[in-house]
Amino acid sequence: MSEQGKIRVLVWSEHTAPKEWYPHDINGAVADGLRQDKDQGFQVSTAELTDPDQGVSEEVLAQTDVLAWWGHLLHGHVRDATVDRIERHVKERGMGFLALHSSHMAKPFTRLIGDDGRIGGVKHDAGPESIKVLAPEHPIAAGVTDFAIEDEEMYDEEFGCGKPDTVVFHSTFPGGHEFRSGCAYTVGNGRVFYFRPGHEENPTYYRDDVRHIIRNAARWVAGRS
């Protein structure tokens, strides 16, 4: 049982982010942003690939309302049994799943959305990412207006993201590149959200606007908004 009805969020990463940018890895930065919630609505813990049962044992998942996932270099190291557990908790128990940035290729995300997560292109140091709110009425967009991230990695369409219920955010980059950067899904009894920004060599997860969206997304996938 969560503390005073708080949303229990487990933030997972593979511990490969450069320490000069993320000394406590991506999961540490995302967890800090969740703990800054003004309503103190989250009970936050972290896990990583090298933990027992890859950080997501049956016992841990049973005490998790939202699993936030950042992976990049080690997707292939995530065992099928790990993905099976996550899929079951989302589809049957209604656990929320929040996929971040390069987790478009993460095994749990692709399994849940029924697609391969492919993207049409990628470029480092691509310049500003301009993010437009396409669905201002969606709870994840609450308090969010169009904004730009001064320097981010570029992803380009085509995006193998299945069939989102709602595309909440859309990104454009210099040179005419574009990407569906905020995709919301209902999967069985659970909810899934993919949020694109968050390259490990950019300080994106320290931004107030990005942290605000992640908090909104955690509430939504938990079924609290």
Alpha-carbon span 122 to 18, nearest angstrom: 19
Question: Which residues partner with 169 through β-bridges?
Answer: 133, 182
List phi, psi (to 5°) of 213.
Answer: -65, -40
Using the predicted structure, report yes or no on whether residue 62 has a pLDDT greater than 60. yes
Q: Give the DSSP per-residue string, 12-65.
A: EE-S-S-TTT-TTHHHHHHHHHHHT-TT--EEEEEEETTSGGGG--HHHHHT-S
Residue among 86, 94, 162, 174 nearest 130 (CA): 174
Mean pLDDT to the nearest integer, 1-14: 88
Identify the pLDDT of residue 88.
98
CB atoms within 10 A of CB 206: 13
Task: Give the residue, 2 or 42, on which the prediction is more confident.
Answer: 42
pLDDT in tens, 160-201: 999 999 999 999 999 999 999 999 999 999 999 999 999 999
**In one letter, which amino acid is 180?**
R
- Residue 91: per-residue pLDDT: 98
pLDDT confidence bin for 81, thresholds 50/70/90: very high
Question: What's the pLDDT at 86?
Answer: 98
What percent of the chain clears pLDDT 90, i.e. is strictly above it?
96
Q: List, as one string, the DSSP characters of 208-225.
A: HHHHHHHHHHHHHHTT--
pLDDT at 2: 65
Asked whether the predicted pLDDT for residue 1 surpasses 60, the reply is no
Task: Write out pLDDT tens, residues 105-148.
Answer: 999 999 999 999 999 999 998 889 999 999 999 999 999 999 99
The pLDDT assigned to 65 comes to 98
CATH code that applies to domain 3-117+181-221: 3.40.50.880
Distance (Å, rounded) from C-alpha 164 to C-alpha 30?
A: 24
pLDDT above 70 for 97: yes
Name the band, by pLDDT with cuts 50, 70 and 90, for residue 56. very high
Six token digits for residue 48? 């990583």
Cβ contacts of residue 108 below 8 Å, gap of 6+?
Answer: 67, 69, 78, 82, 83, 86, 87, 97, 99
4 pLDDT above the threshold of 60: yes
